[in-house]
Structure 1
Amino acid sequence: MTALVLALGVTSTTAATAAPTAPSWDDVQSAKGDVEATQIAVSRILESVGAMNAELDQVRIAALVAGEQYQQSTLELARVEEAMATAERRRDAALERADASGRQAAQLAAQLARAGSGDLTMALIVSGDDADDLLYRLGTMSALSTRTDAVLTRALQDRNVAAALSDQAGVARDAHEKVTAEAEVVFAEAGELAAQAEQRAAEQQVLLGELSAKLAELTGRSAALERAYLDSLENEPPAPGPSPSPSSPGAPGPGAPSPSPSSPAPSPSASSPSQPSPSPSAPAPSPSGSGTPPPSAPPPTSGPQPNAAAVATAIAFARAQVGEPYQFGAAGPSAWDCSGLTMMAYSAAGLAIGGHGSSAQYTRAASRGLLVPYSQVQPGDLIFYSTGGSTTASKYHVALYIGGGQMIEAPYPGKPVRIVPVRSYDRVGLVARPSG
């Protein structure tokens, strides 16, 4: 529960921080025609978008962390269920053995009672011709006593073992009930965070539409072009230092109309080169924040080599799901979470990669020697994300690398399965090669 509590704490702290205020429509109208005022208004819009993205990112990560914790709790629940089933099977087998040995001991005791009835010593003295028969009976009784002692001893041992295994089965059942209750709590909390993230994402879409219109009014470009630019900022991690250059959206992108005299675009900043928005006809992919993109042709490696057929099948399966919704805990057929998508993609290729859970998939790859450095990433590899990119921390997200610096992912609540550039923020330095 610690990770979930921390995630919730981060969300609360972020939500409590006042975000920069975007300019009103009156501010926008007043800024038109004044280059400096336009720059300031644009800067305020970009700052508010950056703050909004950072806040939403925290909510989404909290939801992903909670979802991964739930997946881990389900794996623990499955382990406890198997332990409980094993304990109950052993208990039932021991009870059957104890019952059988008890019945055998009772039968032999009855035979002994019948064979030893009467005073055998007196019978030997007064008998004559029947002495041999009585000696035989005495010998039989002695043999029966020895056998009965052994059977009784075994019956007692079987009964003691059955009692001990019954106690163990009870402990296993108690553990199962405890883990089940904990899993239900985690499921409820993770579901609540996922719903919160989805609601925040929907609210953000509305705000981005309004801010795009304001940017279009300031720059003289289309609202669609400005919306594409603002959408492209979504996956950028919060950057330390000064806010984005006010001139970022000011330089017309390819095919963009020139600003009108009455609505001048801000001039490029001397200290920060402009970042033109993508054109509507050829929108640029969202920035990955990765600094140096993954190699298009990775250098030779001595690590495990991928199975081309399995990789092709997994990627084709994942591609076929693009556009389908994210759903917490889902593994198809028409909704997905991150590890559900990668699990089923490789299941389509006949490979088990560790079950439903990012950490479980990473752990399985590690145990089989299938981890390689990200610098050697190849199509079909699994890319993982954790807090700070730690290799030891729980992995809250996993995606499928498809080459060219891109990956397929079921990203988070409110966003469907998609193909995006690989992000470096929180990315783990090792990738898994399930088909190696």
Structure 2
Amino acid sequence: MTEHDGSSFRRPAITISAAALGVLTAGVGIVAHPSPADAVEYPSWDDVQHAKASVNAQKAMVDKINSLVAHLQSQATDAGIRSEEAVEAYNQAQADLEDATQKAAELQSKADAAQKAAETSTVRAGLLASHLMRTAGTDGSIGLLLEGGDAGAADKLLYQLGTMSQLTAQSRKVYDQAVADRNTAQSLAAQAKAAQKAKKRAADDAQQALKTAQDAAAAAQAAVSTQQQKQTELTAQLASLQNTSTAVAAQYVAGQQAIAQQKAAEAAAERQRKAAAAAAAAAAAKPKPAAPAAPAAPAQNSGGSSGGSGSSSGGSSGGSSAPAPQTGSGAPNAAIVNQAIAYARAQIGKPYVFGGAGPNSFDCSGLTMMAYSSAGVYIGGHGVGMQYRQAAALGQLVPRSQAQPGDLIFWGTAPYDLYHVGLYIGNGMMIAAPQAGENVKQQPVWGAPISVVARPSMGR
């Protein structure tokens, strides 16, 4: 299992704002509780029987049923995407909470150690001050100097010690160390307090994200249940209209859905292509910064000249958009791939559950994480974005056109707004935990995934 955790490639500071969560929740609400204006009218069996009276009415009813089936599919898909987005937002919020918790613990530990060091240094300084004051013929009781050991008394003692003219070089060293230790303790205490506040904010964000994800998952499950229930009745009505068996009608509906999905995928791919072309054209049209003027005289230090050139180059690149992730071409490790696919295949039929990572249920990134974990490979943790960024950090991204079995396929916008992942098994098929209300299954690669896939077995 690799030691690289990919944590440095997380979104630097994700904030689940109330407004953003409200949008997700509002979206979920539309699916779960459609308003009367959005209510769909489904044909009754009487409507179907009346439609058989004429060819035109029959054709119109078939078209209506096809449209309703497509509408149900679209609703379920949209609800599933919103659910996956909410789950991924929760995964990121939870990762941020874990980071904040670890940072708070580390800073508190350092603050505690620094406080102990400061107390020890202050006692040494008090002993020194007591000795000097007795030498000067005044009351040098360390107990009086420290006045019970509170922070204010310690500051007063150090101030008094700093004003004493009898300080030798050795005495000055004790004093300086005490002052430095006090300053360090105060600084770390302030940092630890700020880290605790950040931890509290992260915990609140994670709790809100959890509720939003749970609501979104419930809405997606409701949408899938509605689709399954209504589609069964619509398919039976279609069979009656076409005077065929329900099985034949179901095949017809599946064919219509496949055609619709293919058209949607082609449209999404075309939009993606146009966006990439527009971005490339904009980058090409952008004026390039003028080359820096040559110095009047050769630089005295070749290292300094090189450094100046590097700075100029860095400044130029900093003004442009982030570069595309580097892609590799390494062959997959067959043993790792076979094990990951075998694990995923063994989970087929188990339910999708938000946050699931086995053994009885999974969400999409939980399935891919455990599939590769079974082969001894860590792919970045329980989160779609974390898995993508781990692969990017290790140079494991490859063009989707070169996808091979075992690769991870992602949906969304890289690198921080990804929401779904599946395990590619070849021939346009993948194994995935689709969404709430469905089970882990083998299915065609749908829609328009992003243009690169990850190959976690590369180079192993």
Shift of 1:83: 1.6
CA RMSD of aligned residues (A): 3.0
**Counterparts of 2:257 and 2:431, CA distance in 1:** 17
Task: Pick closer, same or farther for the CA change 1:356–1:234 going to 2, 3 Å.
Answer: farther
Query: Aligned residue for 1:25?
Result: 45
2:74 pairs with 1:54: yes
Query: Aligned residue for 1:105?
Result: 125
Shift of 1:160: 1.4
Instruction: State the one-letter code of the partner of 1:434.
Output: P
Q: Is the 8 Å Cα contact of residues 84 and 172 (structure 1) preserved in structure 2?
A: yes
Q: Which runs of 5+ in 1 are unaligned?
A: 119-141, 242-286, 292-300
SS at structure 2 position matched to 1:151: helix
Task: Pick closer, same or farther for the CA change 1:342–1:233 going to 2, 3 Å.
Answer: farther
SS at structure 2 position matched to 1:384: strand
Q: Which has the higher helix share?
A: 2
Q: Which runs of 5+ in 2 are unaligned?
A: 1-15, 139-164, 270-326
Instruction: State the one-letter code of the partner of 1:174.
Output: K
Query: Aligned residue for 2:182?
Result: 159
**Counterparts of 2:386 and 2:441, CA distance in 1:** 23
Identity of aligned residues (%): 39
Task: Pick closer, same or farther for the CA change 1:361–1:239 going to 2, 3 Å.
Answer: closer
Query: Aligned residue for 2:330?
Result: 304
SS at structure 2 position matched to 1:379: coil
SS at structure 2 position matched to 1:395: strand
Shift of 1:181: 0.4
Q: Which has the larger radius of gyration?
A: 1
Query: Aligned residue for 2:362?
Result: 336
Query: Aligned residue for 2:457?
Result: 435
Q: Which region of structure 1 is more displaced relative to structure 2, 412-421 or 86-95?
A: 86-95
Q: Tell me the matched-pair count.
A: 356
Query: Aligned residue for 2:101?
Result: 81
Query: Aligned residue for 2:220?
Result: 197
Query: Aligned residue for 1:384?
Result: 410
The aligned runs of 1:31-430 (5 Å cut-off) are 31-32=51-52, 34-112=54-132, 146-231=169-254, 303-386=329-412, 390-392=413-415, 394-423=417-446, 425-430=447-452
The CA deviation string for residues 103-142 of structure 1, in whole angstroms up to 9 with x for no partner, is 2223344455566669xxxxxxxxxxxxxxxxxxxxxxx9
**Counterparts of 1:193 and 1:382, CA distance in 2:** 24
Q: Is the 8 Å Cα contact of residues 4 and 69 (structure 1) preserved in structure 2?
A: no
Task: Pick closer, same or farther for the CA change 1:335–1:234 going to 2, 3 Å.
Answer: farther
Q: Is the 8 Å Cα contact of residues 359 and 394 (structure 1) preserved in structure 2?
A: yes
Instruction: State the one-letter code of the partner of 1:67.
Output: V
Q: Which region of structure 1 is more displaced relative to structure 2, 214-223 or 15-24?
A: 15-24
**Counterparts of 1:406 and 1:289, CA distance in 2:** 20
Task: Pick closer, same or farther for the CA change 1:111–1:150 going to 2, 3 Å.
Answer: same
**Counterparts of 1:336 and 1:208, CA distance in 2:** 26
The CA deviation string for residues 254-300 of structure 1, in whole angstroms up to 9 with x for no partner, is xxxxxxxxxxxxxxxxxxxxxxxxxxxxxxxxx99999xxxxxxxxx
Q: Please, what TM-score do these two structures have when normalized by structure 2?
A: 0.70
Q: Please, what TM-score do these two structures have when normalized by structure 1?
A: 0.74
The CA deviation string for residues 170-215 of structure 1, in whole angstroms up to 9 with x for no partner, is 0010011011101111110111111111112112211112112111
